[in-house]
C-alpha cells in the first residue's frame, strides 16, 4: 500500500475541519501530517485523523478525484466520510497493519 496513488480526507474531529489531499504514498503522507511536517493548513488546525481514502490505479486518476471532492460541498464530503467510516475513526493505524 505504500506506493499507490490515493485521495484522502483528514479531519481534526468528527464533523470538524476537513482537508482533502492526494499522494502516491498514503502511509508516509499521513504520517507527515500527523507529525506536523506539512506546513500550513493541517498543522495550523491540528488536522491529523485519516477519516477517508480511496486507492487509484494512477496518480492522474487520484488528482482528478481530489478535484472532484474539493469541488463538492462540505455536506457532500461528510456524506462520503460517513458512508465509508461512520464512526469517524482514525484509519491510519489500519494502514500500518496492512503492510
How does residue 55 score in pLDDT terms, banded at 50, 70 and 90?
very high
Reference 52, options 13, 99, 20, 15; nearest CA is 20
Task: State the Cα–Cα distance between residues 6 and 66, nearest whole angstrom.
Answer: 9
Q: All 3 cell numbers of residue 55?
A: 486507492
Residue 43 lies in a domain: yes
Residue-range definition of the domain harbouring residue 85: 6-97
Question: What's the CATH number where 87 sits?
Answer: 3.40.1440
User: What's the confidence (pLDDT) of residue 2?
Assistant: 55
Q: How many domains does the chain have?
A: 1
Contact 77, 20 (CB under 8 A): yes
**pTM assigned to the model:** 0.94
Residue 1 lies in a domain: no
Give alpha helix (H) positions in 11-73: 26-34, 41-44, 59-71
Reference 88, options 28, 21, 17; nearest CA is 17
User: What's the confidence (pLDDT) of residue 39?
Assistant: 87
Contact 81, 51 (CB under 8 A): yes
User: What's the confidence (pLDDT) of residue 98?
Assistant: 64
Is the pLDDT confidence value at 99 over 80?
A: no
Is the pLDDT confidence value at 56 over 70?
A: yes
Amino acid at each position: 500500500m505504500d506506493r499507490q496513488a490515493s485521495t484522502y480526507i483528514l479531519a481534526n474531529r468528527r464533523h470538524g475541519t476537513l482537508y482533502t489531499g492526494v499522494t502516491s504514498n498514503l502511509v508516509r503522507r499521513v504520517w507527515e501530517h500527523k507529525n506536523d511536517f506539512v506546513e500550513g493548513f493541517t498543522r495550523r488546525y491540528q488536522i491529523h485523523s485519516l477519516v477517508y481514502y480511496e486507492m487509484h490505479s494512477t496518480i492522474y486518476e487520484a488528482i482528478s478525484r481530489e478535484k472532484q471532492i474539493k469541488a463538492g460541498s462540505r455536506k457532500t464530503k461528510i456524506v462520503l466520510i460517513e458512508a465509508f467510516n461512520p464512526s469517524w475513526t482514525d484509519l491510519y493505524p489500519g494502514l500500518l497493519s496492512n503492510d
